[in-house]
Amino acid sequence: MPHPSCYWRHHVLILSVGLVLFFLPHLLRELSLRERVIDAVPSEGAYKGIYSLVALAGLGLIIWGKSVSDFTMIWQPFYALRFISHILMIPAAILLVAGNLPMSFMRKHLRNPMLLGVTIWGFAHLWSNGDVASILLFGSFALWSGFKFVSLGLATETSVKSVSVLWDIVAVIGGLILYVGVSIFHGQLFGVGLSYV
């Protein structure tokens, strides 16, 4: 009978492969491979299709790998300080919403608020999760999004034609709604209920 550690390594491998498949298409620009890949496929539409399929396959493996991974603790989070994660998730949710809205002042000055939101989301979850699978998942997303936030921010032009504070208000309200909704249904959505006390 296989040793339990074999199953642990197998499940972590699934998660790791999923992370590589998900991040690789999103890093083609930074690796100076984007134009080469586009030139190697028949059309831009084919490139986008392959890009999406690889990323979706990675996302599926991430979800599967995380769900079947054993809970192997690396470090013990500070239980009394878990409220820090909840506090960090408020701006993270607002930034995630802001990144999907028309031009706001947040988007003008941060350029890629969604990536910054993912970075905060990753570190917020690292603060409250010390197992191997969580460290791999949240740590890699935090590092990837932080790197992309900086690299795309340096490459993005700052000229903006129209900015409206209305979209900042929508982002704040929408982010708070998202935060409350995910907090309430976190157990149903992700299998782990949240505790605030």
Per residue in 120-158, pLDDT (tens digit) is 999 999 999 999 999 999 999 999 999 999 988 776 555
Q: Say if residue 105 is in the same domain as residue 163.
A: yes
Q: Which domain holds residue 120?
A: 71-197
pLDDT given at position 38 = 87
pLDDT, average across residues 97-115:
93
Q: Say if residue 81 is in the same domain as residue 165.
A: yes
Ranked by mean pLDDT, which of 63-67, 70-74, 150-154 comes out on top? 63-67
Q: In total, how many domains does the chain have?
A: 2
Instruction: Tell me the pLDDT band of 111, cut-offs 50, 70 and 90.
Output: confident
Name the residue among 122, 143, 157, 156 with its Cα closest to residue 26. Answer: 143
pTM for the whole structure? 0.85
Q: Say if residue 37 is in the same domain as residue 119.
A: no
Q: Say if residue 84 is in the same domain as residue 26.
A: no
Cβ neighbors of 148 (< 8 A, separation 6 or more) are 26, 27, 30, 112, 115
Q: Say if residue 33 is in the same domain as residue 90.
A: no
Which of residues 70, 95, 123 is at a domain's end? 70
Which of residues 70, 91, 114 is at a domain's end? 70
Q: Say if residue 80 is in the same domain as residue 103.
A: yes
Q: Say if residue 90 is in the same domain as residue 124.
A: yes
Q: Say if residue 62 is in the same domain as residue 116.
A: no
Q: Say if residue 130 is in the same domain as residue 105.
A: yes
Which of residues 22, 43, 70 is at a domain's end? 70
Q: Say if residue 99 is in the same domain as residue 118.
A: yes
